[in-house]
Amino acid sequence: MDIFKAFEERYSHKEGFLPTEVPLTDLERIAKAGIAAPSGVNRQTVQLIILPNRDALAPVCAVAPTIGLETAPAAIAVLTDRTITPADAFNFEKEDYSAAVQNMLLAATALGYVSLWLDSPYFDPEKERQARAALSAPDTHRLWAVLPIGKPSVTGSRREKLPFEQRVTVL
């Protein structure tokens, strides 16, 4: 898909998914796009865990159920490896994981799927810990988001965007 079409078509799918399976090759292609994103000081802090089916997804969903995680046929969990990130101002975990997520949302769109940047369930440190355990991820990692991926069961609604002129200035 042309990249400018992907920018336009991507939206946050907050509805349910069809049970149609997502081939592992597509999930790997999306993950490959994620790790192709830049990272601060090229530390490559982002770690991805592909959940290719309901069996893999169910324990993570159980920690904090949402319509997306309850119905999606697959997902990709987005973590950072904190052993390679300093705790000070030169910590780029948020930037790193956000750039990786954006690449994956675009890649999913280009392959005909919908997805969602689902981070809110993991703002609660205890839920984050439980979900990380369900993923068998080490204690040295932090879970930031889980992206449900699949075909939509209903057409999702796009959030309204402010006009270009209100967000971009030419100096």
| Residues of the shown chain interacting with its own copies in the complex, contacts defined by CB under 8 A | 1-4, 6-8, 10, 12, 24, 27-29, 31-38, 42, 44, 46-52, 56, 89-90, 94-95, 98-99, 101-103, 105-107, 110, 117, 119, 123, 135-136, 159-162, 164, 167-171
Residue 21 CB, shortest distance to its own copies, in Å, is 14
In the block, tokens 């090229």 appear at 42
Cα→Cα distances 59→54, 111, 124, 126, Å = 9, 26, 17, 15
Nearer to its own copies, 1 or 62 (CB): 1
How does 157-166 read in b/e, with b if 16+ C-beta sit within 10 Å? eeeeeeeeee
Nearer to its own copies, 71 or 103 (CB): 103
Nearer to its own copies, 27 or 72 (CB): 27
Residue 130 CB, shortest distance to its own copies, in Å, is 16
Q: Please report the sign of the dihedral spanned by the C-alpha atoms of residue 95, residue 92, residue 118, residue 2.
A: positive
Nearer to its own copies, 17 or 26 (CB): 26
Alpha carbon distance 71, 123 (integer Å)? 22
Residue 84 CB, shortest distance to its own copies, in Å, is 11
Residue 31 CB, shortest distance to its own copies, in Å, is 5
Residue 24 CB, shortest distance to its own copies, in Å, is 7
Q: Which residues pair with 75 in a beta bridge?
A: 51, 148
Nearer to its own copies, 17 or 110 (CB): 110
Q: Could you count the other beta carbons within 10 Å of the beta carbon of residue 91? A: 16
Radius of gyration of the chain (CA): 16
Contact predicate 90/73, CB 8 Å: no
> Looking at the chain, how many residues does it have?
171
